[in-house]
A and B are shown apart, each in its own frame.
Chain A
């Protein structure tokens, strides 16, 4: 009981406070370090596939978690029909697998590509491994402890909401199996490590690009023409 109180009350609060405080400090002192420190310039081919798979997969999975956290009732209503429930779960599993594929490819790239190795820090490897734990434990939960979308809404959502209302109720998750518990704990760890890693980039996602006035890039000549004439064909 005491362990559960620490792991599911003390630990998440500790990690959230750490994330907020250190993010503020880092932004005040080194604002230009808020970036993913792109290595696209050093290697672009593997990055294109890895990064796209990873981001599409993980963003959709995260949006699913966010929806279930904010509107658990809506998820349960959707799941009232077993076919719809299955479609939701299958979408989640597909996106989880896509994220896993992208993540593994990014991890391999980071550990094997000679140019990328030069710009890789310990924290980069730590956060990638943690994300791997997160995605694998999430897929394991989805496949072994079905139907996660429903019991997230009944057990995990009230627990997470209770944390936000400063009235923690760890009893909602205390009796869950080890797999889902690892998933939650590694999530809290990742949140705590956000300001110490490249993950800070998601705090400064340039969402305003979506509605700012478009910037036109004007080329002197039409690119196709130029390349064709210069390559001497």
Chain B
């Protein structure tokens, strides 16, 4: 079995299997990290349709950009700047893609292009109803739970007047995001690839319907002024502090102060 020919065949089949695995990994990674903004052959979303990438860009440029899009923009790369303009100023996040992964994704896109295979979809395309907007608001605020257990948007984001005393401020205000991302917004929040979100939402993605509803809500507020900086939290905190001090003064009246002060003759 382990004569030269047999070993050669085993190695060959192992190599084929591993090539298959790499392709599978690349597709899984594409779904997790790229598909929120890109498709191959299903049209542009937040970012461009990647079909025919090899005809537009060199491999070096494309893989380099995948790994660190921020640095291309920082040094004023002409193509990157143009892409940023086309995407309404929505920057592609630095996703921590390694050189090997970038190469595999390049190959995946190239193979899909050549085979005429479509990866991803352009998302739900029905008209928005008032019920979508109302549901989207409930989901955004957390009053309604996401089916797969994703945390409420309000945890980190604000949007116009959503929430009591405003939304979170770890992430950006999303009031105007709909105008920027347009139709791509729903798919961008279905499996968000932003660094702080991707680990959390990879485990608990939104359903296409939920993403559509949240996007509908964000669309409904996109013309409103951005969320106000809410100062209720520090103010209520201070009120609580003053209240606490008052309580402690009352409690301290019964405090045992030692016997010496009482024994000393009063001057």
**CA gap between A101 and B43 in the complex, in Å:** 58
| Residue numbers in B under 8 Å from A97 (CB-CB) | 237-238, 240-241
Nearest residue, chain A, Cβ from B265: A231
Cβ of A151 and Cβ of B240 under 8 Å apart?
A: no
- Per-residue 0/1 for B149-189: is the Cβ within 8 Å of any A Cβ (1 yes, 0 no)? 00110111000000111111110000000000000000000
**CA gap between A66 and B237 in the complex, in Å:** 21
Nearest residue, chain B, Cβ from A93: B237
Known contacts A90-B233, A93-B237, A175-B195, A151 near B170 by CB under 8 Å: yes
Known contacts A86-B164, A146-B168, A93 near B233 by CB under 8 Å: yes
Cβ of B141 and Cβ of A147 under 8 Å apart?
A: no
| Residue numbers in B under 8 Å from A98 (CB-CB) | 241, 244
Known contacts A153-B151, A172-B199, A230-B263, A147 near B156 by CB under 8 Å: yes
Q: Which of B141, B142, B151, B155 has the most CB of A within 10 A?
A: B155
**CA gap between A98 and B164 in the complex, in Å:** 24
| Residue numbers in B under 8 Å from A93 (CB-CB) | 233-234, 236-237, 240
**CA gap between A44 and B252 in the complex, in Å:** 13
**Partner of B262 from A52, A91, A231 at Cβ < 8 Å:** A231
State the Cβ distance, A71 to closest chain B Cβ, in Å.
14
B147 CB–A CB distance under 8 Å:
no
Cβ of B170 and Cβ of A94 under 8 Å apart?
A: no
- Which size bracket describes the interface of A in this complex? 35 or more
Cβ of A227 and Cβ of B263 under 8 Å apart?
A: yes
**CA gap between A91 and B236 in the complex, in Å:** 9
- Per-residue 0/1 for B200-212: is the Cβ within 8 Å of any A Cβ (1 yes, 0 no)? 1000000000000
Cβ of A48 and Cβ of B252 under 8 Å apart?
A: yes
Stretch at the interface among A14-22, A30-38, A73-81, A127-135: A73-81
| Residue numbers in A under 8 Å from B248 (CB-CB) | 49, 52-53
Cβ of B164 and Cβ of A174 under 8 Å apart?
A: no
**CA gap between A176 and B194 in the complex, in Å:** 12
State the Cβ distance, B242 to closest chain A Cβ, in Å.
9
A113 CB–B CB distance under 8 Å:
no
A198 CB–B CB distance under 8 Å:
no
**CA gap between A145 and B258 in the complex, in Å:** 45
Cβ of A150 and Cβ of B195 under 8 Å apart?
A: no
B127 CB–A CB distance under 8 Å:
no
B6 CB–A CB distance under 8 Å:
no
**CA gap between A83 and B232 in the complex, in Å:** 12
Cβ of A154 and Cβ of B234 under 8 Å apart?
A: no
Known contacts A85-B164, A144-B169, A231-B262, A79 near B237 by CB under 8 Å: no
| Residue numbers in B under 8 Å from A90 (CB-CB) | 233, 236-237, 240
State the Cβ distance, B262 to closest chain A Cβ, in Å.
5
Cβ of A48 and Cβ of B145 under 8 Å apart?
A: no
B125 CB–A CB distance under 8 Å:
no
B126 CB–A CB distance under 8 Å:
no
Known contacts A146-B169, A147-B154, A94 near B164 by CB under 8 Å: no
Nearest residue, chain A, Cβ from B162: A82
Q: Which of B152, B165, B170, B238 has the most CB of A within 10 A?
A: B170
Segment 164-216 of A: residues with Cβ below 8 Å from B: 169, 171-172, 174-177
Known contacts A1-B96, A44-B258, A85-B164, A80 near B142 by CB under 8 Å: yes
Cβ of A150 and Cβ of B233 under 8 Å apart?
A: no
Segment 70-127 of A: residues with Cβ below 8 Å from B: 76, 79-83, 85-86, 89-91, 93-94, 96-98, 101
**Partner of B259 from A49, A147, A177, A227 at Cβ < 8 Å:** A227
B7 CB–A CB distance under 8 Å:
no
A143 CB–B CB distance under 8 Å:
yes
Cβ of A147 and Cβ of B168 under 8 Å apart?
A: yes
Pull 28 A–B residue pairs with CB atoms less than 8 Å apart, ordered by A: A44-B258, A48-B255, A53-B248, A79-B152, A79-B155, A80-B152, A85-B154, A85-B163, A85-B164, A86-B236, A89-B233, A93-B233, A93-B234, A93-B240, A94-B241, A97-B238, A143-B234, A145-B170, A146-B169, A153-B151, A154-B200, A169-B199, A171-B96, A172-B199, A174-B195, A175-B195, A175-B196, A176-B196
Contacts A85-B154, A147-B155, A177-B170 known; list 8 others, CB within 8 Å: A52-B248, A79-B152, A81-B143, A85-B163, A86-B232, A146-B166, A148-B170, A154-B200
